[in-house]
Chains A and B, each alone.
Chain A
């Protein structure tokens, strides 16, 4: 059984093609069932987001399954599966595992480190589970992928640097004010960007929000949406004395907040710092105001530079994350092979002990040994012989999983000793593992 990934992403297919190939939420149940019916496919899940459409499958016939899944996807976009023009990529075994771990850890995302993808992958997996399209191998793989994604987020700073204008603005405000629950936020204008920024602030704990706009009704609408209150536009000057964070995004041709207004507000505020985000073009805040002490003014250009800086930092962190993923892939592969070896070791031991006990019984009977002590001694000797004989094979079977020399010792042992692959036992172990989680 092998792991296979077939799909397309923003890196290989344009938006139009991805729109054709992509699946709506209500199509996923049937689609994943259809994938499972394809030649060679044993287990499957389907991930369909705005940036990628991928099928993760466990297959027993690699090339047949690869072609069948490619054809399945290409038929939706009207593309020849024999010549998908670089749109479709295929990964198998270790490469497939690496790709799945990288996608879940947002290393393959359009914005590296974005935090939506792991939720989308979890949702896709849940849909596949519900449609009974998953099996033990895919389950193990995906559970480990989610653990790796969490590890990447905690061990690296890949997600800590904000990658949007509004989140960058809030992040910068956080460099001045520790506790957003204690700051006053003034929003000037009722546009989308201003609303995004204020929503980020609300998520970060801000709860004292005032909204002002020339159109009072729009100010009221926005204030209702963000849990604040509307104030009349004429009170702008006095509101600066109250507000610690000001977000401005209006269509005004002239600056609304002048240097003098801020100087006066600072005097009344006794020099308490004030943080201004001016997202408007032309600017709402006089740039000269930024030179005042205790005034921190950031315009749209500054925020774009902040985002660019953050993306550079994320890409730097991505290198650490890639090394972490590579390490986890090796660990998982080793673990998988060890899992294969454990039932074989158990079966070998059971088989040998059964034979040893039978022979010990026969010998005790031949020697007419009736005492418990004598029988125990014979049994003990038989078990000791079995343990000593199996000692090296057990070590090699376990160690053998680290050596990628093309020899699968577990399979060889099965063949040599005529052991059966006990699938029921594996499924039972899997389901008890699931229940304990």
Chain B
């Protein structure tokens, strides 16, 4: 039954990805709306998948597979919420395949990971929820930044045939990016703090791990971005690049964490 839910969810995300790719070449309102509907249905299917595992007695965040499943679900939810306020159709073209990739990876984690982590401590699951939401928020911020950089480059080079008319203006994209970083940063900070507290409670746990180093560095980069944005007026292309770099750091943390679970210390 779990395999059935999984297959349906993967199928729906694949369909959403295909429609969004079509949207990249055929940017009409109809295609954008259709893609969004399919993504929403995929989101509901994904919720059903998570619900199924809960019904089976597993914590939704248990194991690496649970974390990846949850992260990809939050990512899609964030994309849909962002879409309620701003019509950035091409965002789905980046988020749908990313969510699909995370979901597919979660499937492979089932066979390779050890017995599901029994996330009994509040700090443990709180850290994982915050981490998933932080990854999602910064993934969205980075995706918006990529759209900004593309549009900005097309305008700067006067490649007007490449300028996407269906995307909001640069000023709006900059604002959206700013808001996403503003929302994501405190969440990420809470993830970091709760992670530190949780780790101190684990017996014989080493402190020097690459993912911790990158997590700290990413936090620093994003803190600088936030201060620079609000105090020093950092905006536009530079802010977009910093958002992308910050997200890549967080992504590396996730990759290292998953890699450690799969390959061992």
Contacts and interface: CB of A to CB of B under 8 A. Distances in A.
Do these two chains really belong together in a complex? yes
Contacts of B163: 175
B59 interface: no
A273 B151 CA distance: 14
Given A175-B170, A176-B171, A293-B238, A305 B160 contact: yes
A175 B236 contact: no
B155 interface: yes
Nearest to B29: A157
B238 to A, nearest CB: 7
A160 B27 CA distance: 13
Interface string A91-106: 0000000000000000
Contacts of B235: 270-273, 294
Given A270-B233, A273-B236, A294-B236, A178 B155 contact: no
A45 to B, nearest CB: 35
A35 interface: no
Given A272-B233, A293-B236, A309-B161, A172 B171 contact: no
A145 to B, nearest CB: 25
Q: Name the prevailing secondary structure of the B interface residues.
A: loop
A306 B238 CA distance: 27
Q: Chain A interface residue count: which class? A: 20 to 34
B238 A298 contact: no
A174 B165 CA distance: 10
A433 B211 CA distance: 73
Interface in A257-297: 270-273, 290, 293-294, 296
Given A273-B170, A273-B171, A306-B160, A175 B155 contact: yes
B169 interface: yes
A160 B168 CA distance: 15
B169 A271 contact: no
Contacts of B232: 270
A270 B233 CA distance: 6
Given A174-B169, A176-B155, A177-B169, A271 B236 contact: yes
A273 B169 CA distance: 12
Nearest to B175: A178
A157 B165 CA distance: 11
Nearest to A182: B171
B86 to A, nearest CB: 10
Interface string B206-239: 0000000000000000000000000011111110
Nearest to A293: B237
B204 interface: no
B23 to A, nearest CB: 15
B156 interface: yes
B200 interface: no
A274 to B, nearest CB: 11
Interface string B104-148: 000000000000000000000000000000000000000000000
Of listed A157, A175, A290, A302, residue having the most chain B CB within 10 A = A175
Nearest to A270: B233
Nearest to A302: B158
A160 to B, nearest CB: 7
Nearest to A299: B158
Contact of A296 (B28, B155, B168): B155
B172 interface: yes
A176 B233 contact: no
A176 B156 CA distance: 11
B28 to A, nearest CB: 8
Contact of B171 (A178, A270, A290, A306): A178
Contacts of B237: 293-294
Contacts of A177: 169-171
A294 B172 CA distance: 14
Given A272-B235, A293-B236, A309-B160, A160 B171 contact: no
A270 B238 CA distance: 13
A272 to B, nearest CB: 7
Interface string B149-193: 001000110101101010011111000000000000000000000
Contacts of A271: 233-236, 238
Contact of B170 (A160, A176, A179, A302): A176
A23 B168 CA distance: 45
Interface string A167-196: 000001011111100000000000000000
Contacts of B170: 175-177, 273
Contacts of B156: 290, 296
A174 B171 CA distance: 10
Interface in A304-335: 305-306, 309
Interface string A140-152: 0000000000000
B160 to A, nearest CB: 5
B169 A172 contact: no
Contacts of B151: 175
A293 B155 CA distance: 12
Given A175-B170, A271-B235, A294-B237, 6 more contacts: A172-B160, A177-B171, A178-B172, A270-B232, A273-B236, A294-B236
Interface of B: 28, 151, 155-156, 158, 160-161, 163, 165, 168-172, 232-238
Interface of A: 157, 160, 172, 174-179, 270-273, 290, 293-294, 296, 298, 302, 305-306, 309
20 contacts: A160-B165, A172-B160, A175-B151, A175-B155, A175-B163, A176-B155, A176-B169, A176-B170, A177-B170, A178-B169, A178-B171, A271-B234, A290-B156, A293-B236, A293-B238, A294-B235, A302-B158, A302-B160, A305-B158, A309-B160
Lowest 7 A-B CB distances belong to which pairs? A270-B233, A178-B169, A178-B172, A176-B170, A306-B160, A177-B171, A294-B236
